[in-house]
Amino acid sequence: MSKEPVAVVGIGQTRHVAARRDVSLAGLVREAARRALRDAELTWADVDAVVIGKAPDFFEGVMMPELYLADALGAVGKPMIRVHTAGSVGGSTALVAANLVAARVHGTVLTLAFEKQSESNAMWGLSLPIPFQQPLLAGAGGFFAPHIRAYMRRSGAPETIGALVAYKDRRNALKNPYAHLHEHDITLDRVMSSPMLWDPIRYSETCPSSDGACAMILTDRAGAARAPRPPAWMLGGAMRSEPTLFAGKDFVSPQAGRDCAADVYRQAGITDPRREIDAAEIYVPFSWYEPMWLENLGFAGEGEGWKLTEAGVTELDGDLPVNMSGGVLSTNPIGASGMIRFAEAALQVRGQAGEHQVDGARRVLGHAYGGGSQFFSMWLVGDRPPES
C-alpha cells in the first residue's frame, strides 16, 4: 500500500507584529486562513478538516481555544484537531494534517498555527515555577544560553558567529513583508554592541515576541491537479522526541534531531543533504542555533557548522541559504513559528517567495524544534511529486 502524495496548494500568513490589537484571536487566525484559501483559489466549503496548533494555552489565557475558533475557521460540521508539541508545534501540526491526506482520510485539509503573545508575557509564561522540578530560569534564553556556551567551547567557534547569523537574518527580513522586525538601520556593529541578555546571547541575537498566524492548504494528487499555482510536494516528514533532561543528553546536538532528519532524508532519498538540498528554513530562536542545527541536520560535520555561517554559505545568495524569510530571529509567534518555517520552504519551491526567493530552489527543508531541545518536526518539500 502506498501513501497518497501530499501537496501544498495554498499558503497564507498574517503580517506579524508585537501586538495585533486590531483583531481578536478569531480575526487573527481567519486572516491567515483566508489568505491560504485565496492562494489556493478555494472556499471554506472545499476544506474537509481543520488541524490547528499552538503552544501553551497560557499565552492567550484561553483553554483549548480551538473550541471557540471552530466557527471562525469554518470548521462547524467538520473534524477539527488541536496539536500541542511545544515550540515544534507549528511543524507537527502540518505533519498531522499531512497524514490525514497521506492516509486518504481527507482530500483537502486546512492547517493553521498561531500565537497571540501580546495577550500575556511569554517569557514568564514559560517560567512558571513547579515544585520539585528544575526551573527553566528566566524564559527560554536562560535555558539555552549554557548549551550555546557548550557549543562554542566544543567547536572552537569565534565569538562573532552569532552576530553574523543575526545580521543576516534581520537583513533577510527586510525582504519579507510579513516579517515582524524590519530593522532598516541594522549593522553588524549594532548587533555586536546590543545589550547582553543571557551571556553569550545578546539582545539582537534573540527572537522577538510576536502576534501572528500561518495557514496552509494541503491536498492530494487530484487537488494538486486542480490548483491554480504550482504546488509544493512533501517528499518526507517526521517527528522525534526525547526526554527533557537525562544523564548523557547531548544538548548541543540532540539525538532526536539527528534521527528526525535522517528519517526525512531516507523518505526523500537524500543521501547528501548539503548537495541535494537547495535551502533550509531552520528554527533559530537564538542566533547560535544556526551553526548548531546545521551540524545536527547533517549539513556540516561536527564542529564545522560555524564555518558555513562565517563563509557566507547561509546568506540569501550563498550556496545553502538558511532562513530566507528572516527566520524566528525576525518573527516569533511561538505556536506559528514552526509552520512559518514549513510554509517558507513550500513558498520557495513554488517560486513564490518574492524578494527573498532563492533562484532554482527545488528541494527545501522546513525545521522546527521545541521544549528543552527535545521535540523535533521537519519536512522536505520539492517542486515535483515524490517518485513512488
CA gap 52, 366 in Å, rounded: 18
Span of 34-42, 95-103, 181-189, 341-349 interacting with other proteins by CB under 8 A: 95-103
CB closer to other proteins, 80 vs 150: 80
CB of residue 233 to other proteins, shortest distance in Å: 16
CA gap 139, 175 in Å, rounded: 29
CA gap 202, 65 in Å, rounded: 34
CB of residue 216 to other proteins, shortest distance in Å: 17
Span of 33-41, 89-97, 312-320, 379-387 interacting with other proteins by CB under 8 A: 89-97
CA gap 258, 298 in Å, rounded: 8
Span of 8-16, 102-110, 268-276, 293-301 interacting with other proteins by CB under 8 A: 102-110
| Interface pick for other proteins out of 23, 81, 137, 174 (rule CB under 8 A) | 81
CB closer to other proteins, 263 vs 310: 263
CB closer to other proteins, 9 vs 96: 96
Does residue 173 belong to the site contacting other proteins (CB under 8 A)? no
Does residue 96 belong to the site contacting other proteins (CB under 8 A)? yes
Question: Going along 250-360, which residue ranges are E strands?
Answer: 279-281
CA gap 292, 125 in Å, rounded: 26
Mask of contacts with other proteins, 260-299, x by CB under 8 A?
x--x------------------------------------
Contact between residue 69 and residue 29 where contact means Cβ atoms under 8 Å apart: yes
Span of 32-40, 84-92, 197-205, 215-223 interacting with other proteins by CB under 8 A: 84-92
CA gap 277, 361 in Å, rounded: 8
CB of residue 229 to other proteins, shortest distance in Å: 26
Quickly tell me which residue has 546590543 as its cell.
Answer: 194
Q: Which three cell numbers stand for residue 352?
A: 513564490
Nearest Cα neighbor of 343 from 333, 355, 353 is: 353
Q: Where does residue 44 rank: exposed (0-12), middle (13-18), buried (19+ CB within 10 A)?
A: middle
| Interface pick for other proteins out of 121, 160, 194, 244 (rule CB under 8 A) | 244
CB closer to other proteins, 89 vs 340: 89
| Interface pick for other proteins out of 110, 126, 227, 261 (rule CB under 8 A) | 126
Q: Which of residues 9-68 bind other proteins (CB under 8 A)?
A: 24-25, 55-65, 67-68
Contact between residue 70 and residue 136 where contact means Cβ atoms under 8 Å apart: no
| Interface pick for other proteins out of 11, 256, 324, 368 (rule CB under 8 A) | 256
CA gap 228, 240 in Å, rounded: 34
Does residue 71 belong to the site contacting other proteins (CB under 8 A)? yes
Strands 108-116, 211-219: pairing kind: antiparallel
Query: 212 - beta bridge partners?
Result: 115
Angle, nearest 10°, between helix axes 255-268 and 289-296? 60
Residues that bind other proteins (CB under 8 A): 1-3, 24-25, 55-65, 67-71, 75-86, 92, 95-96, 99-100, 102-105, 125-126, 128, 130, 132-133, 238-244, 246, 254-256, 259-260, 263, 371-372, 374-375
